[in-house]
């Protein structure tokens, strides 16, 4: 178990290293010059430009820049944001809670709506099943920014139930209230996918002989569904759900921008536009780390869900 | 009271028809099935795949194909299963009739502990968990599982197929049912394990006086387990009699065909002869005897008029020519 964990964590480090190289390289290959942004469009003398470039180490060879940056990261120093003139670590720390709350809220919605409608569709063939299939089809096919516009137009502008984009709510309940529409916009696509995964996993299990055996033993239908169908369908649902958690984190950039939520996603979008390398690097690495960690958590959960799976691939004979 | 118990068969199927909607089948899945199992009796139900034997044995538990219409009676302990409501069916399944399926790997939930599986039926009908566990230990011991206490905590994949089928049989016995329905309980097991399971079923039945309906495609196996055998073809019973007479002198050509195609290792035994042709599909509805197209003894009357079950010897056979004394 310890060896397995150590191996997985080593893998995480390797993935992060590769990611850092790719992101660093890609950003420097991208067109545009950070100096243009640093000058805020003001005319500047060539001397001033040269001074700025030296200050931000932009004239060093790429490898040297990378090494310097990586050394800083290993000491916990992600550099400073050219855009906000602020320490990147501090900047991220201030934006993280907003995103974390949004992702948690959306994840809860995905779990409730996705798993709930998937179960419903599997247990009620006919009109209910068809309705869920159509609904999930629409939800899956609609991009989150379109959902965002639709939600704002309906629930904020027309009905006035929820606040529109912007605003700085105080207190958790107010924050959650403000995050309701963004969370739905973020969640619907994923909920649609999870509903379909849940439905097919449930249908798969409903057709199994041990389910008929349980019925043939006089076990109540509700108990059969809970203990034999839902319980056994959990494997694929958790695996896909885990991947979705990481996907939610990445999709926040669109929704946070659409709803003007001060989080990591909107920070990432602003930083890409401003060619604020240090911030983009840090957020990307963080996202990749979150993705790998979530996958690790899912893999650790799998043997608990299905005891036939073992972490070491040895099986228990 | 005792008198009543002895005379009322544990299972009495009478004129059972099971039909699918017209667009899904050309003939009834079951057509006027009659079958009886008395307390402590072991009865075989034999036929090829698609003959309707599995549908027949599931009907005993009130498990019918989706959309099926039924007529006739399936009485368990004198009460008609087909007329039962949901609560009565649950009680029937939990207390009176237990089913053993073909593949123990498929019939036990792979994710739950064996103890869970054993006690589930009892707990479903209101037995306290502690009592159910004590009963499970006793039963595991009775079916020959070593370390029953440890077995309760293990999971199905930690058992071999034969051991798991013992667990399934133990679970079937849990509620002391009046009838056990075993649907090809040894088909998924290897030969030595088959023999053990058959011996176990026989011993437990004798000890407990439980009725056994043993469903199989293997006539030899049925002979080693059963006192009486029903032979099914295309949804109908074509012959029934005591095991010995069935083997010595079958009256229906299909039974004879089944006997002839069983391989034997006895010296000088003839090579197995397969029955020519193929079983009648659900889409086909021949007007006369369903077996006529494959029968070496068929006469024109056979494909015009359906033969009914009539007494020949000690049992019944549904063949127009059964009385003619043809050596089959």
For residue B270, what is the DSSP state? Answer: P
Under 8 Å between Cβ of B274 and B261: yes
CB contact under 8 A, B99 and A213: yes
B100: closest CA of chain A, how far (Å):
9
Q: B228 falls in which pLDDT band (50, 70, 90)?
A: very high
pLDDT of residue A41: 64
Average pLDDT over residues A11-29: 83
pLDDT at res. B6: 55
pLDDT beyond 70 at A32:
no
pLDDT at A160: 80
Question: Mean per-residue pLDDT for B311-327?
Answer: 84
Please state the rounded mean pLDDT for residues B108-133. Answer: 89
- CA–CA distances in Å: residue A5 to residues A77, A245, B104: 27, 21, 36
Return the closest-CA partner of residue A198 out of A246, A137, A239: A239
Q: Which residues from B are below 8 Å from A215, CB to CB? A: 63, 93
Contact B101 A220 (CB under 8 A): no
A216/B99 Cβ within 8 A:
yes
Query: Residue B151's Cα: distance from chain center in Å?
Result: 29
**Closest CA relative to residue B10, chosen from B41, B33, B32, B31:** B41
Q: How confident is the model at residue A316 (pLDDT cuts 50, 70, 90)?
A: very low
Residue B285, phi then psi, degrees to nearest 5? -140, 80
Mean pLDDT, to the nearest integer, of A152-163? 83
Q: Is the pLDDT of residue A104 over 90?
A: yes
Q: What is the mean pLDDT of residues B268-274?
A: 79
Long-range contacts made by residues B219-224, C-beta under 8 angstroms, separation at least 24? B219/B46, B219/B255, B219/B258, B219/B259, B219/B262, B220/B262, B221/B186, B221/B194, B222/B44, B222/B46, B223/B44, B223/B247, B224/B198
Q: At B14, is the secondary structure helix, strand, or coil?
A: strand
The secondary structure of residue B327, as a DSSP letter, is -
Which positions 169-208 of A are in contact with B (Cβ < 8 Å)?
208
Q: Tokens at residue A113, please?
A: 């709506």
- pLDDT-derived band at A117 (thresholds 50, 70, 90) equals very high
Q: Are A312 and A4 in contact (CB under 8 A)?
A: yes
Q: Which phi and psi (to 5°) does residue B179 adopt?
A: -140, 135
- Sorting pLDDT into bands at 50, 70 and 90, what band is B42? very high
Confidence (pLDDT) at A37 = 64
User: Of the segments A9-13, A313-317, B188-192, B322-326, which one has the largest average pLDDT value?
Assistant: A9-13
Rounded CA gap, A126 and A218, in Å? Answer: 26
Mean pLDDT of chain B: 87
Contacts of A70 (CB under 8 A, 6+ apart): A20
For the residues B10-20, what does the mean pLDDT come to?
A: 91
Contacts of B164 (CB under 8 A, 6+ apart): B104, B105, B108, B156
Average pLDDT rounded to a whole number, residues B276-290: 84
Q: Do B89 and A228 touch (CB under 8 A)?
A: no
Q: What percent of chain A has pLDDT over 90?
A: 26
- Average pLDDT of chain A, as a whole number: 85
Please answer yes or no on whether A219 and B155 come within 8 Å at the CB atom: no
pLDDT at residue number B254: 92
pLDDT at B232 over 90: yes
Whole-prediction pTM value?
0.79
CB contact A212 to B (< 8 Å): yes
Q: What is the pLDDT of residue B56?
A: 92
Q: What is the mean pLDDT of residues B24-29?
A: 84
CA-CA distance, B316 to B236, in Å (whole number)? 13
For residue A123, what are its two tokens? 């247990």
Distance from the A154 Cα atom to the nearest Cα atom in chain B, whole angstroms: 44
Q: Please tell me the distance from the alpha carbon of residue A170 to that of residue B282, in angstroms, as a whole number.
A: 70
Q: Which range (A25-34, A125-134, A307-316, B176-185) has the least confidence?
A: A307-316
pLDDT at A78: 82
Residue A137: pLDDT over 70: yes
Interchain proximity B106–A308, CB inside 8 Å: no
Give the residue from chain A lying closest to B98, CA to CA. A217
What's the pLDDT tens digit per position in A191-233?
A: 999 999 999 999 999 999 999 899 888 888 899 999 999 999 9
Q: How confident is the model at residue B1 (pLDDT cuts 50, 70, 90)?
A: very low
Band of pLDDT at residue A40, cut at 50, 70 and 90: low
Whether residue A217 and residue B171 make contact (CB cut-off 8 A), yes or no, is yes
Average pLDDT over residues B249-265: 85
- Residues on chain A touching B107 (C-beta within 8 angstroms): 209-210, 213
In 3D, which of A109, A126, A292 has the Cα closest to residue A192?
A109
Q: Which of B61, B93, B108 sits opposite A210 (nearest CB)?
A: B108
Whether the CB-CB separation of A134 and A142 falls below 8 Å is answered with no
Q: How far is A225 from chain B (nearest CA, A)?
A: 12
> pLDDT value at position B2?
41
pLDDT of residue A315: 39
CA pair distance A116, A135, nearest whole angstrom: 13
All residues of chain B having their beta carbon less than 8 Å from the beta carbon of residue A218 are 89-95, 121, 124-125
Confidence of residue A311 (pLDDT cuts 50, 70, 90): low
- Rounded to 10°, the helix A144-151/A172-206 angle is 120
CA B95 to each of CA A225, B12, B76, B204, B312: distance values in angstroms, whole numbers, following the listed order = 21, 17, 11, 17, 37
CA distance B277 to chain A (A): 31
Residue B203 has pLDDT above 50, yes or no: yes
* pLDDT(A312) > 60: no
């Amino acid at each position: 178990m310890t060896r397995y964990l150590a191996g997985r964590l080593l893998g995480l480090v390797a993935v992060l290293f590769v990611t850092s190289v790719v992101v660093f390289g890609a950003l420097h290959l991208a067109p545009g010059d950070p100096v243009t942004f640093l000058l805020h469009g003001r005319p500047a003398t060539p001397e001033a430009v040269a001074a700025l470039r030296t200050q931000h180490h932009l004239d060093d060879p790429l490898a040297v820049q990378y090494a310097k940056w990586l050394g800083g990261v290993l000491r916990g120093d992600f550099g400073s944001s050219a855009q906000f003139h602020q320490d990147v670590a501090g900047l991220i720390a201030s934006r993280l809670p907003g995103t974390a709350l949004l992702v948690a809220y959306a994840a809860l919605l995905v779990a409730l709506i996705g798993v709930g409608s998937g179960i419903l569709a599997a247990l009620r063939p006919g009109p209910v099943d068809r309705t869920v299939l159509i609904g999930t089809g629409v939800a899956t096919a609609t991009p989150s920014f379109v959902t965002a516009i639709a939600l704002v137009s309906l629930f904020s502008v027309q009905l006035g139930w929820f606040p529109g984009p912007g605003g700085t709510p105080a207190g958790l309940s107010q924050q959650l209230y403000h995050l309701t529409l963004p969370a739905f916009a973020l969640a619907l696509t994923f909920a649609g996918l999870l509903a379909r995964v849940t439905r097919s996993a449930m249908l798969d299990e409903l057709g199994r002989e041990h389910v008929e055996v349980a019925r043939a033993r006089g076990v109540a239908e509700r108990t059969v569904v809970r203990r034999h169908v839902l319980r056994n369908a959990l494997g694929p649902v958790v695996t896909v759900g885990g991947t979705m958690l990481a996907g939610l984190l990445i999709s926040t950039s669109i929704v946070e921008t659409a709803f003007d939520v001060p989080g990591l996603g909107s920070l990432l979008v602003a930083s890409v536009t401003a060619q604020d390398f240090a911030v983009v690097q840090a957020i990307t690495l963080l996202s990749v780390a979150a993705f790998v960690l979530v996958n690790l958590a899912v893999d650790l959960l799998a043997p608990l869900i299905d005891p036939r799976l073992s972490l070491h691939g040895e099986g228990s004979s | 009271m005792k008198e009543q118990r002895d005379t009322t068969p544990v299972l009495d199927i009478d004129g059972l028809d099971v039909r699918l909607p017209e667009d899904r089948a050309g003939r009834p899945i079951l057509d006027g099935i009659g079958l009886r199992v008395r307390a402590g009796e072991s009865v075989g139900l034999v036929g090829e795949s698609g003959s309707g034997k599995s549908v027949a044995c599931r009907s005993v538990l009130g498990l019918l194909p989706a959309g099926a219409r039924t007529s006739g009676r399936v009485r368990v302990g004198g009460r008609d299963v087909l007329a039962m409501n949901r609560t009565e069916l649950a009680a029937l399944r939990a207390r009176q009739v237990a089913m053993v399926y073909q593949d123990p790997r498929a019939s036990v939930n792979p994710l739950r502990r064996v103890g869970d599986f054993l006690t589930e039926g009892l707990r479903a009908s209101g037995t306290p968990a502690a009592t159910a566990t004590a009963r499970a230990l006793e039963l595991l011991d009775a079916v020959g599982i070593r370390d029953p206490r440890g077995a309760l905590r293990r999971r199905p994949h930690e058992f071999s197929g034969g051991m798991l089928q013992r667990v399934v049989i133990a679970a079937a016995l849990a509620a002391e049912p009046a009838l056990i329905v075993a649907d090809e309980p040894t088909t998924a097991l290897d030969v030595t394990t088959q023999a053990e399971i058959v011996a176990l079923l026989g011993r437990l039945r004798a000890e407990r006086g439980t009725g056994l309906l043993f469903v199989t495609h293997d006539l030899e196996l049925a002979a080693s387990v059963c006192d009486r055998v029903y032979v099914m073809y295309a949804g109908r019973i074509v012959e029934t009699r005591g095991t010995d007479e069935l083997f010595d002198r079958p009256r229906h050509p299909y039974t004879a065909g089944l006997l002839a195609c069983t391989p034997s290792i006895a010296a000088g035994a003839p090579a197995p002869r397969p029955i020519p042709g193929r079983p009648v599909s659900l889409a086909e509805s021949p007007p006369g005897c369903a077996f006529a197209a494959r029968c070496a003894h068929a006469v024109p009357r056979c494909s015009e008029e359906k033969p009914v079950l009539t007494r020949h010897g000690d049992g019944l056979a549904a063949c127009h020519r059964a009385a003619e004394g043809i050596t089959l």
